Amino acid sequence: MTQHTTYDSTPITAIATAPGRGGIGVVRISGKDLAPIIQALFGATQFKPRHASYLPFTQSDGSLIDQGIALYFKAPQSYTGEDVLELQGHGGPVVMQMLLERCLEAGKDAGLRLAQPGEFTQRAFLNDKLDLAQAEAVSDLIEASTEAAAKSASQSLSGAFSKVIHALVEKVVHLRMLVEATLDFPEEEIDFLEKSDARGQLSAIQSALQKVFEQAAQGALLRNGLNIVLAGQPNVGKSSLLNALAGDDIAIVTPIAGTTRDKVTETIHIQGIPLNIIDTAGIRHEQDEPEYGEQADVIDAVERIGIARTWAEVEKADVILHLLDASRGPTRADEAIVARFPDNVPVIRIWNKIDLSGHHASVDQMDDATHIYLSAQEHVGMDLLRKELLRIAGWQQTGESLYLARERHLIALKQAREHVEHAAAYAAQNDQSLDLFAEELRLTQDRLNSITGEFTSDDLLGVIFSRFCIGK
């Protein structure tokens, strides 16, 4: 177990069910020894571990709060690894708050306090009930927005992701052992690289690491999705496209230019992938060229702010859908918009209104970007766009189990991959750089261990668990 100096072992309590009204609500208590708190709450009542007891929940003066079920879990056979008491009553917010206050009152002498967000799961991690990747999967499972995301989070929570990482670490440790043994006994003059097949072992590690990264990257898509920004001139059909993708009238659609003044965001799902579609204000310029016609002098202050916000969203986009009017073709205004797009963001050119232009729904892969011809109004060609969005996202239905990875997992895997590549470069120099080879393997192991929490700073733990909901 990793040692952490900030572990506070005082007993904690919180409402463990979601805010609002429900049939059942739960107040959870965890601590090293709950006997004094149980005595204060229920007198001489003895709870058999892992068995439900139906009894009254009362105030200190004996007045009734509720009738409910008490469940006692004796350490270490509990979620947190400590003694845990769960009180299940009727799920009204007033009842739950009264029961929580009664627990705090009864546990005052024992130091009972309100739990911080994620503190129950943090204690499960610190008491070796879960590793860090599994602990994060608890939060991901609660927040899963699709069935696919929930399944992947369950995979991580069951330890599937952690087992793969541990298997990689074992391979790295085995190779480190051979390298460092050779460094310790140079007089043996063993041709280490040849006899131990170090290059072969390293190649196997590289292949396994790449496969894990690809599966984790797919899982990260299920968790985070993509931010897709609709950009283009006014009246090219951005809001119509948003409505067509969402399958509902989310945005106002009129023939009047500049209807959308601020961003409109809608999350949709394609094959389980969440896509955050952001409709933005139409981009036009205050210029006197004839191409802009009478629009050139009618941009008011509100629309100007909307256009500025459009560019701010474009800068943060994962994918840009540049909408153009297929019935009139490209204009200099469209070219000016393209010139301001970030270089590192994928762009799909959407030629909308093919119902007016006479084009057929199609996809053209060109040097500058992918061009898709469709009609958002008539819902023609929308499947072509959906497929292209999945392709750009890198989504592949492999049939293999995915892990709902987080950004920090992907960063750690990328860094581990870089260290393995450096190790391969040193391995190519035969026995001349074995010390550097060994160091790169050590760094690889450290990066992989950070995923499961075997080498993790207390500061990082604080950030991770602070994002959990209270009561979990």
DSSP per-residue letters across 171-186: HHHHHHHHHHHHHH-G
Q: What is the pLDDT of residue 434?
A: 81
Q: What is the pLDDT of residue 152?
A: 79
Q: Is 192 helix (H, G, I), strand (E, B) or coil?
A: helix
Residues 305/332, Cβ–Cβ less than 8 Å? no
How far is 69 from 52, CA to CA, in rounded Å?
6
Whole-angstrom distance, CA of residue 49 vs CA of residue 169: 37
Instruction: Give the three-class secondary structure for 256.
Output: coil
Within the chain, which residue ranges are assigned CATH 3.30.1360.120? 12-130
In what helix (H) or strand (E) does residue 232 lie, and over which residues does it extend?
strand 226-232
> In what order do the strands lie in the sheet containing 370-373?
264-270, 273-279, 226-232, 319-325, 347-352, 370-373, 362-365
Residue 248 CA, chain-centre distance (Å), reads: 27
In CATH terms, the fold of domain 154-221+406-452 is Four Helix Bundle (Hemerythrin (Met), subunit A) (1.20.120)
Whether the CB-CB separation of 387 and 396 falls below 8 Å is answered with no
Count CB-CB contacts under 10 A for residue 146: 16
The DSSP string of 213-282 is HHHHHHHHHHHH-EEEEEEESTTSSHHHHHHHHHTS--S---SSTT---S-EEEEEEETTEEEEEEE-PP
The segment(s) of the chain belonging to CATH 3.40.50.300 are: 225-393
Buried b (16+ CB within 10 A) or exposed e, 153-162: bbbbbebbbb
**Cα–Cα distance for residue pair 260/199, rounded to 1 Å:** 59
What's the pLDDT at 102? 96
CA contacts within 13 A on the Cβ side of 214: 12
Measure the CA–CA gap between 472 and 469, rounded to whole angstroms.
6
CB 9 within 8 A of CB 122: no
DSSP string, 318-332: SEEEEEEETTT---H
pLDDT on residue 414 = 94
Residue 456: what pLDDT? 56
Residue 87 pairs in a beta bridge with 27, 70
From first to last of the 472 residues of the chain, give the pLDDT tens digit.
444 445 678 999 999 998 888 899 999 999 999 999 999 999 877 899 999 999 999 999 999 999 999 999 999 999 999 999 999 999 999 999 999 999 999 999 999 999 999 899 999 999 989 888 888 888 888 877 777 778 878 888 888 899 999 999 999 988 888 887 777 665 554 566 677 788 889 999 999 999 999 888 877 777 777 888 888 888 888 888 888 888 755 544 444 444 444 567 788 888 777 888 888 877 776 553 444 444 444 566 776 777 778 878 888 888 889 999 998 888 888 888 888 888 888 899 999 999 998 899 999 888 778 999 999 989 999 999 988 888 887 666 555 566 777 888 999 999 999 999 999 888 887 666 788 988 999 999 999 999 988 765 565 566 667 767 777 6
- Tell whether pTM > 0.75: no
436 vs 434: CA distance, rounded Å: 5
The token pair that represents 351 in the structure block: 């030629």
The predicted pLDDT at position 259 comes to: 46
Backbone angles phi, psi at 392, to 5 degrees: -65, -35
Separation CA 384–CA 67 (nearest Å): 57
| Domain 225-393: CATH class, spelled out | alpha beta
Question: Cα separations (Å) of 389 from 76, 85, 136?
Answer: 47, 48, 28
Alpha carbon distance 245, 113 (integer Å): 48
Class of residue 201 by CB neighbours under 10 A (exposed 0-12, middle 13-18, buried 19+): middle
Q: What is each CA distance from 143 to 223, 337, 368, in whole angstroms?
A: 9, 37, 38
Fold of 12-130: Gyrase A; domain 2 (3.30.1360)
